[in-house]
Structure 1
Amino acid sequence: MGVIRGAIGDATLTSIWVFIISTLRIVATEVALLLGLQPFSLLGLFITTILNTLYVIIISFLGRVLGGASFNPSTSVSFYTAGLRPDSSLASMAVRFPAQAAGGAVGAKALLMVVPPHYKDMLKGPFLKVDLHTGAVAEGVLTFSHNLAVLFVMLRGPKNPFLKVYLLSVTTVALAISGAAFTGPAMNPANAFGWAFVNNKHNTWEQFYVYWICPFVGASLAASIYRFVFMSPIKQKKA
């Protein structure tokens, strides 16, 4: 797909993703309470992973409809580094990543416009809760772990598509809980930018360093390790 067309698709898909994924906590909490469960109990977390799985299936379908659009710059970087996106280039990503960031801002803003007021306290988005460098390392490690899991599950995991997405959802929820006390976390620069934009914190060094630079480093490292360990050519032994 052309770069401009791809950027438009990315912006559209990212706005939808940020809109729906930001409702995950709200919807999961309401469903758990409706069933008489504690939201952060094991069964409550199971509900969260199922909902996340459904969200990812929906967004994946929409991505195909939009011609292969993407909604997470860090995942794009990892697939590019692993050599799995031959149609991508640094130039195309330089156009598509700002489009994804803009889409994230649109999605966050749109959600705040329609969500009932009593839910807005649950929609703060990722934000730094520790010192700058600790947060940067945490976001980098979390994004590294997430992208390594994505590569492994999607390329070497089970053949069942639903099971693939569910395993990734379990991983994502586990990482989100692990990083909650550090950076939110985001593991998606476009999502982080969207919420930083609506909170007027998008043009800070903190946003760029913690939620863009370190995730890109983590994603690139994950792809490099995956490529070295699982994609190295097998040398044939001479007889």
Structure 2
Amino acid sequence: MAKIAFGTFQEAYQPDCLRALVVEFIATFLFVFAGVGAAMASDKLNGDPLVGLFFVAMAHTLVVAVMISAGFRISGGHLNPAVTIGLCAGGNFTVVRSLLYWIDQLLASVAACALLNFVTGGLATPIHSLASGVGSLQGVLLEIILTFSLLFTVYATMVDPKKGNLDGLGPLLTGLVVGANIMAGGPFSGASMNPARSFGPAFISGDWTDHWVYWVGPLIGGGLAGFIYENFFIVRSYVQLAGEDTF
């Protein structure tokens, strides 16, 4: 069974970690800017809700695929605390570096939403919140399932050493599952799958309605998928990450 490595706080000062944090910030910033910007544009155009949903889903599909590809070689292109915790739960990322990534991703999201608010002349930043008739438990369960499918795809197409002919297609396939999940869950929970994607708009707008749902659901779903895939579907000799104490 894969072990979760704690790591050391000296990681924060290592050149490779600093480079990774810079790239992760840039990639997450650009992802949130495009994703939230598409939602703002859809609201401004005020057209057919079905067309708007497809528009937002496609924007997320494209920007996720591109930003993962752009950041993959240096930071891994997580863009998402749920992806980071999924990799940590599978023993592929230390706890210390995960916390650094979380801070990085949240700051990038806030910066992207603040800039969007400025360049759009103060246009309202749409938050993720539960639709009418959708309860908190339903929202959490939906976010767990959607995020589980996201991390399952990440592991199958980018982490699994036996990914075969899927090698190189991981970012595109991950973007596609994000878009599909937004089409399926968007009208109900907003289909966040990403605490950072939800945090920036909530912070800038000051509206924290249902916000906890977008931490609990994605983190459970991401962590569960990483743990299950690593321990039940990947066969390899475990190599402990540099550092460190393990749980």
TM-score, normalization: structure 2? Answer: 0.70
Displacement, 1:183? 1.8
Out of 61, 84, 89, which is 1:76 matched to? 84
Letter in 2 for 1:15: F
Mapped pair 1:21 → 2:27: no
CA displacement, residues 146-175 of structure 1 (integer Å, 9 cap, x when unaligned): 1112212333264463x4433323321221
Identity of aligned residues (%): 24
Measure the CA separation in 2 of the matches of 1:233 and 1:63.
26
> Which structure has the higher relative contact order (CA within 8 Å, separation 6+)?
2
C-alpha RMSD of the superposition:
3.5
Mapped pair 1:3 → 2:12: yes
Measure the CA separation in 2 of the matches of 1:66 and 1:160.
17
Gaps of 5+ in 1: 235-239
5 Å-filtered alignment, 1:114-129, equals: 114-115=119-120, 120=123, 123-129=125-131
Mapped pair 1:167 → 2:169: no
Displacement, 1:93? 2.0
Aligned to 2:226: 223
Displacement, 1:215? 1.3
Measure the CA separation in 2 of the matches of 1:8 and 1:47.
27
Measure the CA separation in 2 of the matches of 1:58 and 1:72.
14
Measure the CA separation in 2 of the matches of 1:213 and 1:48.
22
CA displacement, residues 56-109 of structure 1 (integer Å, 9 cap, x when unaligned): 3431354257654542110111122223x2xx3222222331221121111112
Letter in 2 for 1:77: I
Aligned to 1:193: 199
The structure that is helix-richer by fraction is 1
Measure the CA separation in 1 of the matches of 2:184 and 2:164.
23
| Cα 1:177–1:113 shift into 2, 3 Å | same
CA displacement, residues 102-128 of structure 1 (integer Å, 9 cap, x when unaligned): 2111111211222377xx57x513222
Gaps of 5+ in 2: 1-9, 238-247
| Cα 1:96–1:164 shift into 2, 3 Å | closer
Displacement, 1:23? 3.3
Measure the CA separation in 1 of the matches of 2:236 and 2:74.
34
Displacement, 1:137? 1.7
Letter in 1 for 2:173: L
Mapped pair 1:211 → 2:225: no
Measure the CA separation in 2 of the matches of 1:147 and 1:66.
19
CA displacement, residues 164-196 of structure 1 (integer Å, 9 cap, x when unaligned): 433323321221122113221211110110111
Aligned to 2:71: 63
Mapped pair 1:136 → 2:140: yes
Letter in 2 for 1:107: A
Measure the CA separation in 2 of the matches of 1:65 and 1:115.
33
Measure the CA separation in 1 of the matches of 2:77 and 2:35.
17
- Does the 8 Å CA contact 1:25/1:48 hold for their aligned counterparts? no
TM-score, normalization: structure 1? Answer: 0.72
Measure the CA separation in 2 of the matches of 1:9 and 1:184.
27
Measure the CA separation in 2 of the matches of 1:46 and 1:98.
29
Aligned to 1:113: 118
Measure the CA separation in 1 of the matches of 2:167 and 2:40.
29
